[in-house]
Every structure is written in C-alpha cells, then in structure tokens.
Chains A and B, each alone.
Chain A
Amino acid sequence: MEYQQIKNTFWVIIGAWLANLVQVSVLAHLNLFGGQPNLIAIGAVCFLLLGRTNLGLIWIYIGSGLFDALLGTYGITTAPLLFAYGISYLLLRHIFNNLPWLATIIIGLILLGSSEVLIAIKYNAWVQYIKDLSFGLIILGPLTFYIKEKSSAYKNTINYKF
C-alpha cells in the first residue's frame, strides 16, 4: 500500500467518524421536515460520483458500522447500503453515459433509501422514511450537481443496452 493510499484511508476513517458525530448531534436536532438523513449514505454518493469507489467502501464499512453500533443493531444499515453501492456502481459504469444530473439524483436516492430501508420495513416506519428521504434530497440536489460538474470520472464509459 502506498503512502498516499494510507493517508487517504486515514482521512476517510476520520471523516466517517466526524460524519457520525454530526449525525447524532447537529442532524438529530435540526429536524428539517422532521427528517434525519443518513450522512454516510450521502457521503457514499459523493465517493461514487467522484470515482473513488475503494475509499467509498471504507467510508461505508467504518461510518455505517459505527452508525449501526449506535443504533444497537449491527448490519441494519451497512448491509443494504453496501448492496446499493454495488448496484449504483454498476449503473454508473454501464448505463448512465455522461452522467446526467438526474441520474446522480437517482443514484443518491437509491443509496439514501437503501440505508434505512431495513429499519423502515422492520418497524413499519414509512412516514419517517419519506421524511428522511425528503431532507436527504435537499442536501443531495446541490451536492450531486456540484460533484457532477467537477467530476469527469464516468464521462467516457461504455453505454450498455439491455
């Protein structure tokens, strides 16, 4: 492992920890539309759109693992988020050519939605789920637009047809 990779990994771990701190403090009190979106999922969207897939995986493992530990149920957000991350990666690589902005929003919603889907199913908490998605979408909209403008990670990928 190169020095730069170790450094990036270190900062991603620190970032995931900080995201959890923000999640349980600022976001827990903010209550915009009564929602509390998953920052780890939003962060994963950024890594995916920036083409830093490996760092995104570390982000999810550490951040979502900590998230689950705080909830007291291991894997309840990590597992679906990892699954959605994989699916989104495939979508980005093979279907969304040139990455339109709407596609980034869809990818964001897939990841954000997946992170809480098991909790929503288990406790039948769909109203809160929608509220969390609404709040998350407000953050995702400008964020993905900015990243899409800055990133060229997926601009020259092959466009498969089903």
Chain B
Amino acid sequence: MNPRLFIAIAVFTLAGLFFALVLNIFNVVALSSISPARILNKPAFELKKFFTAISQINSLRGENQSLKKEITAIKKDFILQSEIIEKNAEIKEQISKAQNSTYEKIIAGTVISRSPSKILDSVIVDIGSKSKINIGDIALVDGFLVGIVGSVTSNTSRIDLITNPRILLPVKLIDSRARGLLKGGLKGIEITDIPGNIQVSEKEGVVTDASDSKILPGIPIGTIDSAISAESEILKKFLLRSPINFSNFEVLVIVPTNGIPTN
C-alpha cells in the first residue's frame, strides 16, 4: 500500500470522527439547552388550542347547528313513531273490544277535533261516507256508547256525544227492566221518565233500548249513579255514570247501522 494513501485515509477518518464527535456534542448541547422549553411548551400549546378553537368556532357553530337539526329530526321521527305505535295499539284495543261485543262490522276512527262549543259536545273523526258511515250510526269507546253520528262528509263525521243536550235516546235498565230516556246535559247524563213504581238500584247497568229502530239495542252505556228526582214524583230521574272520560278519548269505533249484534 502506498504510504501516502494510507496517511490520507487515516487523516480523513480522524477528521470524520472529530466532526461526528463535535456534531454529537452540539446535538447534545442543543437538546439539553432546549429542555427548559417544556416550561413554556404547555401554556403555548394551550394557547394554540385556544386560538385554534377560536378560529374553528365558526365552523364548529355550523357543525353544531347541523347536528342540532339532525337531533331535532331524529327526535321528531322518534315522537312520530311512538305516536304511531300508541295509536296502533289503541286502535287494535278498540277493535278487539268492539269485536268482543260481536258486531258484524266496525270501523275505527281517530278524533281530529272537538266541538267549538262546550254546550253542544261533539267530536269530529277522520272517517266519513267513503268508509260507509251514515247518520245515526253509533260510536263506541271501550265497548260503551259514547255518541251518535250527527253528520257525515266524504272523509269526516261529526259525532254528537251523549253528553250533548241534543241527544235523546231510549234506554233500558238491566235489572229492573225499566225503560226510560237518556238525555245529555251539562249537569251530567240523565236517565228520565222511569216510572215511579219501579225500584231502581244504584250501579244498575243501562243499555240502549230496541224501541227506537234507528239505534242498535243492548249497547252498554253506563251505570245508574244517583237519583235526582224527589221520591214523590211520578216519573223518576237518575244520573248516569259512564266509565268513559268524554274529554279524553282519541280513538273510537263506529258501528254502521247494518252492524246488528250477531248474538
């Protein structure tokens, strides 16, 4: 080997080692000198986050609003679904109760509005002549009579509730077999014209009477609550208690006039 080449390689190697050492020292010094920066780093990072957040507020606000809208839409859907499930359950219940009452044909309807006047109590339902509803058909809730169809359009019907003073129905008391008239009114539903010689007991059941051919016989209405006439009167009056809350029901079933009980 040429001694001059050997010397050159040795010199370059030593020089490389020297620079590597120097650079490493620099590196160590640099790294060591930077370590106090950690004291400032955290607040700086927080500050950066703060300014980033400020710069992102606009976009975040937009995002928040769109998320809010999404949540509202989901909530609305959820409520609608719950409402539909509730309505379906209620309709099914009404239909099954009416089917137990053995009517040939029944149509379920939902109450869409109520009477504009408390005195003439009625409800408007979402079924009409298209569903073969006729004036004089009866409306039931939980199998009890609540009203009679007063007027019909193609898609809606007005049902005069039995609390309406316009309603006058022949009724029969189950135990005493007495016949009388049901009259609606604000004081409550009254059973009038019961002969004075007939003993009527409280809680006695009241059903519709066949003497009026328009109304189906034997439909439960309620029970006798209390007497409101004096003992001496020839024709007695009683208050009727219906198990139905007339201001609360949302679904009812209508029995068309041809839906005569099968048993």
Q: Mark A56-72, 1 if CB is under 8 A from B, else 0.
A: 00000000000100111
Let me know if A125 and B151 touch, CB within 8 A: no
Q: Mark A99-134, 1 if CB is under 8 A from B, else 0.
A: 000000000000000001001100111011101100
Let me know if A71 and B115 touch, CB within 8 A: yes
The answer for the CA separation of A81 and B41 in the assembled complex, in Å, is 81
Q: Tell me which residues across on chain B come within 8 A of A144, comparing CB atoms.
A: none
Q: Does A24 contact B (CB under 8 A)?
A: yes
Let me know if A70 and B115 touch, CB within 8 A: yes
Q: Does A36 contact B (CB under 8 A)?
A: yes
Q: Tell me which residues across on chain A come within 8 A of B114, comparing CB atoms.
A: 24-25, 28-29
Q: How many residues of A contact B (CB 8 A)?
A: 30
Q: Does B124 contact A (CB under 8 A)?
A: yes
- Report which of A67, A72, A128 forms a contact with B119, defined as CB distance below 8 A: A128
- Report which of A20, A127, A128 forms a contact with B116, defined as CB distance below 8 A: A20
Let me know if B117 and A119 touch, CB within 8 A: yes
Q: Tell me which residues across on chain A come within 8 A of B120, comparing CB atoms.
A: 71-73, 119, 123
Q: Tell me which residues across on chain B come within 8 A of A67, comparing CB atoms.
A: 116-117
From B117, B119, B151, B165, name the one whose CB has the most chain A CB atoms within 10 angstroms.
Answer: B117
Smallest CB gap from A39: residue in B:
B116
**Closest approach, in angstroms, between the C-beta of A44 and any C-beta of chain B?**
15
Let me know if B186 and A128 touch, CB within 8 A: yes
Q: Does A35 contact B (CB under 8 A)?
A: yes
The answer for the CA separation of A71 and B166 in the assembled complex, in Å, is 11
The answer for the CA separation of A38 and B158 in the assembled complex, in Å, is 19
Q: Tell me which residues across on chain A come within 8 A of B119, comparing CB atoms.
A: 116, 119-120, 123, 125, 128-129
Q: Tell me which residues across on chain A come within 8 A of B113, comparing CB atoms.
A: 21, 24-25, 28
Q: Does A34 contact B (CB under 8 A)?
A: yes
Q: How large is the interface on B (under 10, 10 to 19, 20 to 34, 35 or more residues)?
A: 10 to 19
Within 8 A of A (CB), among B191-223: none
**Closest approach, in angstroms, between the C-beta of B239 and any C-beta of chain A?**
16
The answer for the CA separation of A127 and B119 in the assembled complex, in Å, is 10
Q: Does B42 contact A (CB under 8 A)?
A: no
**Closest approach, in angstroms, between the C-beta of B116 and any C-beta of chain A?**
5
Smallest CB gap from A68: residue in B:
B116
Q: Does A23 contact B (CB under 8 A)?
A: yes
The answer for the CA separation of A96 and B240 in the assembled complex, in Å, is 50
The answer for the CA separation of A34 and B121 in the assembled complex, in Å, is 13
Let me know if B150 and A72 touch, CB within 8 A: yes
**Closest approach, in angstroms, between the C-beta of A132 and any C-beta of chain B?**
7
The answer for the CA separation of A92 and B115 in the assembled complex, in Å, is 32
Q: Mark B236-251, 1 if CB is under 8 A from A, else 0.
A: 0000000000010000
Let me know if B151 and A36 touch, CB within 8 A: no
Query: Which 7 residue pairs are nearest across A and B when measured between Cβ atoms?
Result: A28-B114, A24-B113, A123-B165, A125-B119, A23-B116, A36-B118, A119-B119
Q: CB within 8 Å of A: which residues of B?
A: 113-120, 122, 124, 150-151, 158, 160, 165-166, 185-186, 247
